[in-house]
Amino acid sequence: MSATPLKDRITDDMKDAMRARDAARLSAIRLLLAAIKQKEVDERVVVDDAAALAIVERLIKQRKDSIEQFEKAGRIDLADKEKAELALLTAYLPQQMSDVELAAAIDASLAESGAVGPQAMGKVMALLKQKIAGRADMGKVSALVKQRLA
């Protein structure tokens, strides 16, 4: 028996939010489903879990940027709304890797690619992105790889 596809899980969560009359949650889930639907229409594809995860990650990055901007502007009300959406979106990511697992994945990718020096950064990051999609903050991963290649 296979796990429920992420898109189906999101749709079920939307139905639950509708039944519970949870407007804030419903709004955030609809935003996510709209982004998924947009990708399906634009590219004429059915979104699989990997593509859905990429969309979730993109929306999370947007929320983080928005929170930072709203806080700088002193709009705590809008920042709080974005934080609530961020928490909801984060729930759709797979369990995050520990620092030890992350270090092991970076070491394996460095060995696999035979990368030496900062110019090999792209090659290593491409390998890592395939292996750990959604399970680690790629900004943090990038900083760690850059540190190892330096």
So what's the pLDDT on residue 109? 82
So what's the pLDDT on residue 84? 92
Long-range pairs, 57-63, Cβ under 8 A, ≥24: 57/93, 57/133, 57/134, 57/138, 59/31, 59/32, 59/35, 59/89, 60/86, 60/89, 60/90, 60/93, 63/89
DSSP string for residues in 70-131: HHHTT-HHHHHHHHHHHHHHHTTSPPPPPHHHHHHHHHHHHHHHT--SGGGHHHHHHHHHHH
pLDDT at residue 1 above 60? no
Identify the domain containing residue 137 by its residue range.
99-149
Q: 78 with 109, same domain? A: no
In a domain, 64, yes or no: yes
Q: 11 with 78, same domain? A: yes
More confident residue, 5 or 16: 16
For 57-91, the pLDDT digits (tens) are 899 999 999 999 999 999 999 999 999 999 999 88
Q: 116 with 42, same domain? A: no
Least reliable range by pLDDT among 2-6, 21-25, 40-44, 74-78: 2-6
Number of domains making up the chain:
2
In a domain, 1, yes or no: no
Which residue carries 């680690």 as its tokens? 136
pLDDT at residue 3 above 70? no
Q: 11 with 82, same domain? A: yes
Give the pLDDT mean for 142-149. Answer: 81
Mean pLDDT of the chain: 86
The CATH number of the domain holding residue 85 is: 1.10.1510.10
Q: 34 with 106, same domain? A: no
Above pLDDT 70, what percent of the chain?
97
